[in-house]
Structure 1
Amino acid sequence: MRRVPLVAACGTALVVVLLSACAPAEPSAPPTVTVMATVTATPTPTPTPATTPPPAAAPAPAPAPDPVPNAAAPVVEPGPAVDLGSRDGATGTPVVDGSGMPVSYVVVVGDSFFDIAQRFDLPQQQLLRMNPQVHDFGEAVYIGDVINLDWTKTG
């Protein structure tokens, strides 16, 4: 007879016991569930009358009119030259017509075009238009230049 050591026999028995715990248990039946359904009718809502009528649609706005270009701005020239008297930068004597209105002015030492315009109460731009021979916006006037002061005549 063959002898099996006690440790080996116990080990085998232990393995069998442990593995038997892993064996699946017999399947059990799932619990029975009973569902009861009841049907209830959905109530129909009762319409309520409106207290105010709905707002009427606003009429569409009228289209914008076509743009109309502005008329060209008129060039308004101030009246005739009026001698306000000698001043620094315009110390010469003007040439006057029979009614005493200044007609021309001769540039003298120390005169400037701006001061001549101020002396005769004329905007510098108007005096430049009346004197196309003056260049560089009046910066270049020379002794002896004749400046026209008669607004009815140019150059």
Structure 2
Amino acid sequence: MRRRVLVTAMALITAATLAACVPADDDRADSRRSTSPSASASAAVPSTNTAMPSGDPMDDATITPTPNADSVGAAPVVAGDRIGSYAVRLPVDAGSREYATGAVTLDSAGRPASYTVASGDLVDYIAERFGFPDFGYLNTLNRVRRGGYPWPIYPGDTLNLSAYTVTTVGDIQGVVRNEAPPSPLPQQR
């Protein structure tokens, strides 16, 4: 009986917490007026390190923007090839965007091969720009020459975008590390 009471109490607390997070009817109506899911999501994305309003209990807190997963299609999967726990993906550049404005170098087939980090770039947005499932995939592509996650990014860093150049492309502030490659690792160029 005590267990049921505890579970019921936890459910009520969770429901109350979630109810406090739901916007007022007027706010929901405003968000439904947008015709594009990416337009409404990008409009709601705050800038990096946006301070909370004065008087808030979290005055010194910052908000880190999150990418809109619906704004870019997934990079195509290469059948049969794997890198670590991921299926190999061919990057597709969806174009420069806020938090992912760096320069792209193409391979001989015209696909994105490397990315030069620009000031203000964020890893999640870079991964989204190229259709990768998450920043973990980008980390897997770069951990040999940049070290394990978490790794910071700096303007001018080179990020590898291809599962076939893991051992030959990428640096962190001009330094190339030599970490153990993921397994399995596709044939390298």
TM-score computed with the length of structure 2 as normaliser: 0.39
**Higher helix proportion (structure 1 or 2):** 2
Q: Greater CA radius of gyration, 1 or 2?
A: 1
**Higher strand proportion (structure 1 or 2):** 2
